Structure 1
Amino acid sequence: MASPLGALSATLLLLLAIALANCEAKAMHSALHAVGRHSQRVQPVKHHKPKFKPGPWSKAHATFYEGGTGSFGGACNYKDVVGEGYGLNTAALSEVLFRKGQTCGACYEIQCIDNPKWCKKGSLFVTATDHCPPNPSLPSDNGGWCNSPRQHFDIAKPVFNQIADYTAGIVPIQYRRVPCQKKGGIRFTIMGNPWFNQVIVWNVGGAGDVVSVQVKGNDKLRWTQMERDWGSTWKTSAHMVGESLTFRARASDGRCSTSWHVAPKNWQFGQTYEGKNFK
């Protein structure tokens, strides 16, 4: 036989549960009405990704190669590395690091190590602007420096001597990814013709390397995903002529930068337009 006290406790607990349920229902009802009244002011939550930070150190080797301002940007299609702000602090990356052009624009800190005879103190900061192609006819330890899976940097000769003496030929190094420091905004150089558009994306800050580019017009052209043509050049057959253009670039760290209407309606092929850079 149940006690009167137990029955009373059970009743009180039931009433309390009903009251709480009613409160939650009223709160939800009020919240929905509030959202309805202020729907024009509600803004989507933005999840900000942190700024690009230096990565861990890894070991590799480095050599140097001849060239000039117009050739050091070779496989990445940078036309003039000095004129475009990269300077001569550039490097061609081996197959495994270049990743078919995906790493174009990435910045690295390089230090010569484990060779007191040739190494110099300090760091060299370079941008990936070219590809060091593999040479299957040579062994990776004797001339085939850029053969996969070897991690290797072929550094522009004018700056190689900042970390080692030229006489060394090849030196052991340690390297790490670092943020790219750029002046001004991202640049978009539009090339091609009305039926085949190419956009060279350069002067990218933050992670430096671009993994996705989208374009949007102000009228008929909706957000369109561009394809990597080669290096820093992206392509699309979408009709872009006659519309002001907005570009959205996504870097390898997942951060995006949208440059709204950077190219006016009367933009021209061969012209460069400046957008919003990564901070």
Structure 2
Amino acid sequence: MAPLQVALLFLGLVVLPAALATDGTTFSMSENGYNVDWMAGHATWYGDPYGEGSSGGACGYTQLTGTPIGSKIAAGNNPIFQGGKGCGQCYEVKCNYPSCNPEPTRIVITDLCPGGTYCSTGNPAFDFSGAAITAMALPGRDGELKKIGLYDIQYKRVPCEYQNQNIAFKVDFGASAYWLSFTVKYLGGPGDIESVEIRQVGSNGSFQPCQHSWGANWMLINYTGQPFDGPYDVKITAKLNGHSVIAYRAIPKWFQPGALYNSNVQFKY
């Protein structure tokens, strides 16, 4: 594993309270921002009774079903969505009604829940997709659970895991040689993003900060009057715990608007 890639490797998610670093030392999940204990929260659900709710929503991930994110997603209110920097967070959720599955359901934050009974408050709240609330029910009892509508739940922040999928960059359709805009997708580990920086491959220059546009979308505006000259390395720093990873040659020299480029790195903690 390259030294500029992942610093910490998880041996487990929820069942293990600690993980092992590459130097053999251990750290607790809580030290890296994840929850060891369950927390009390509130939730609702929306959209197709068995679907993904909204295709990407305010995070800009577009289609979710059939992708590594999947349809078990949720919109988070402001304390979770955090102006878009909360996009990509992963949680385990469960409920205690008679129709609830005792096993937790893994969800990803992909949208904003701006109002309603719970989302309009200052307390963390979720608006689950139909697929997510179905998974939270015992087999054959999802209809019973959905009729409740307003839920007391338990939740915990957990590392994101995308099997056989590295971080990817979806270039916007409006991107050009003078305005590079892209959405960061499939971020493992913390899932959320504090900052994105970009650097021309082969240059001796430092990373240049990108501007957070909206959701999981970041952009780099060309102020030199000269066209961008890639390929580009992209450095991502997680909001949850400040860990960083560098995706080398992540965006090619002749990037195509609308194209999805998979990197060779992934967060593992």
TM-score by length of 2: 0.76
Rounded Cα–Cα distance in structure 1 between residues aligned with 2:53 and 2:220: 26
Q: Per-residue deviation at 1:46?
A: 11
Rounded Cα–Cα distance in structure 2 between residues aligned with 1:263 and 1:215: 10
Residue 199 in 1 paired to residue 199 in 2? no
Q: Which runs of 5+ in 2 are unaligned?
A: 11-18, 20-28, 138-144
Fraction of identical pairs, as percent: 29
Partner of residue 93, structure 1: 76
Partner of residue 37, structure 1: none
Alignment map for 1:89-238 (pairs within 5 Å): 89-113=72-96, 115-116=97-98, 118-134=99-115, 143-164=116-137, 165-182=145-162, 183-191=164-172, 192-218=175-201, 222-238=206-222
Whose radius of gyration is greater, 1 or 2?
1
User: What SS class does the counterpart of residue 265 from structure 1 fall into?
Assistant: coil
Q: Describe the shift of the 1:46–1:210 C-alpha distance in structure 2 as closer, same or farther (beyond 3 A).
A: closer
Rounded Cα–Cα distance in structure 1 between residues aligned with 2:248 and 2:112: 32
Partner of residue 277, structure 1: 266
Q: Describe the shift of the 1:249–1:240 C-alpha distance in structure 2 as closer, same or farther (beyond 3 A).
A: farther
What do the CA deviations read for 1:41-91 (whole angstroms, capped 9, x no partner)?
A: xxx999945758341321111111005558242010011112431111100
User: What SS class does the counterpart of residue 194 from structure 2 fall into?
Assistant: strand
Task: Read off the aligned partner of 1:124 and give its amino acid letter.
Answer: T
Q: Describe the shift of the 1:266–1:46 C-alpha distance in structure 2 as closer, same or farther (beyond 3 A).
A: closer
Q: Per-residue deviation at 1:158?
A: 2.4
Rounded Cα–Cα distance in structure 2 between residues aligned with 1:247 and 1:122: 37
Rounded Cα–Cα distance in structure 2 between residues aligned with 1:144 and 1:70: 18
User: What SS class does the counterpart of residue 168 from structure 1 fall into?
Assistant: coil
Partner of residue 254, structure 1: 242
User: What SS class does the counterpart of residue 183 from structure 2 fall into?
Assistant: strand
Contact residue 170 and residue 182 of structure 2 kept, 8 A: yes
User: What SS class does the counterpart of residue 79 from structure 2 fall into?
Assistant: helix
What do the CA deviations read for 1:152-171 (whole angstroms, capped 9, x no partner)?
A: 11100123022241111112
2:232 to 245, 256, 268: 245
Contact residue 88 and residue 110 of structure 2 kept, 8 A: yes
User: What SS class does the counterpart of residue 147 from structure 2 fall into?
Assistant: helix
Contact residue 201 and residue 233 of structure 1 kept, 8 A: yes
Q: Describe the shift of the 1:180–1:193 C-alpha distance in structure 2 as closer, same or farther (beyond 3 A).
A: same
Q: Which runs of 5+ in 1 are unaligned?
A: 1-43, 135-142
Q: Per-residue deviation at 1:210?
A: 1.3
Q: How many residues align?
A: 226
Contact residue 46 and residue 53 of structure 2 kept, 8 A: no
Partner of residue 29, structure 1: none
Partner of residue 137, structure 1: none
Contact residue 71 and residue 129 of structure 2 kept, 8 A: yes
Partner of residue 38, structure 2: 57
User: What SS class does the counterpart of residue 135 from structure 2 fall into?
Assistant: coil
TM-score by length of 1: 0.73
User: What SS class does the counterpart of residue 161 from structure 1 fall into?
Assistant: helix
Question: How big is the alpha-carbon RMSD for the aligned residues of Structure 1 and Structure 2?
Answer: 2.6
User: What SS class does the counterpart of residue 132 from structure 2 fall into?
Assistant: helix
Rounded Cα–Cα distance in structure 1 between residues aligned with 2:89 and 2:69: 11
